[in-house]
């Protein structure tokens, strides 16, 4: 059985991951929070590749909702040996301007959401004695970004969870890894002007933003059998910036 559960699958990186895993032979359970149109577009692309795809509306920060959607998806697909946590939110704000509401929102989506989905996925993987969990963090989770303190902290928390969970699940033949993307050409960067994007790209040794498909390629490796001895790792994909 080759089924993958992907959160945030309607976004730029998430949709690229869904299409890449479908091309690798996976059936896809794809979640979205608000962009139903984007999720339906992903479903169409996956089905065009001859794979099954179901989409589910999900707020990953809500444990009850995650439990219900995961149970529904397991009923639809029979279980998942690949989990990709891609749902995420960004915030650019001075630390002194960051509110409690900001903290609850970002921590809920970026960190608690990963915790919630892992808690649902792990029992089945342990029972099967096989599984791959791939968490999408950020280069700022390892490097830290001015005016993105809260975002950086939540992404660092994902890295900590990845490393600890990987060690706990290794005896059950479950690999847990993390990808830390750099500046990727997605809607998340639409707040930047073209001049700001150009200036940022000039700081990157490869002199360009990354493509969502380049993150999806790393996910493809981590989801496959070639990564069976790779666990507790953070793979940074940032064009050499950090």
Rounding to the nearest 10 degrees, give the CA dihedral for residues 104, 93, 209, 61. Answer: 10
DSSP structure class, residue 93: -
Give me the active site residues, please.
151
Contact (Cβ atoms closer than 8 angstroms) between residue 209 and residue 189? yes
Burial (Cβ within 10 Å: 0-12, 13-18, ≥19) of residue 196: exposed
Tokens of 82: 């690949």
Q: Please check whether residue 103 is in contact with residue 23, taking contact to mean a CB–CB distance below 8 angstroms.
A: no
User: Maximum distance among all alpha carbons in the chain?
Assistant: 52
Q: Three-state DSSP class for 178?
A: strand
Under DSSP, the state recorded for 1 is -
CB 32 within 8 A of CB 38: yes
């Amino acid at each position: 059985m080759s089924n993958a559960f992907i959160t945030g699958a309607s976004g730029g990186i998430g949709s690229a991951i869904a299409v890449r895993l479908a091309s690798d032979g996976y059936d896809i359970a794809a979640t979205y929070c608000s962009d139903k149109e984007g999720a339906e577009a992903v479903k169409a692309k996956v089905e065009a590749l001859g794979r099954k795809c179901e989409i589910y509306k999900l707020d990953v920060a809500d444990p009850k909702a995650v439990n219900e959607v995961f149970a529904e998806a397991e009923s639809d697909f029979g279980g998942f040996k690949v989990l990709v946590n891609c749902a995420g939110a960004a915030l650019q704000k001075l630390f002194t301007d960051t509110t409690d509401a900001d903290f609850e929102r970002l921590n809920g989506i970026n960190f608690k959401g990963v915790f919630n989905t892992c808690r649902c996925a792990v029992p089945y993987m342990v029972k099967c004695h096989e599984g791959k969990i791939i968490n999408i963090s950020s280069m700022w989770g390892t490097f830290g970004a001015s005016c993105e303190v809260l975002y950086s902290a939540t992404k660092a928390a994902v890295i900590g969870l990845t490393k600890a969970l990987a060690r706990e699940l290794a005896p059950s033949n479950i690999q847990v890894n993390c990808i830390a993307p750099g500046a990727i050409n997605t809607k998340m960067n639409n707040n930047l002007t073209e001049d700001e994007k150009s200036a940022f790209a000039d700081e990157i040794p490869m002199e360009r933003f990354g493509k969502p498909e380049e993150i999806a390629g790393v996910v493809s490796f981590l989801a496959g059998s070639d990564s069976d001895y790779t666990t507790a790792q953070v793979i940074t994909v940032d064009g050499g910036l950090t």
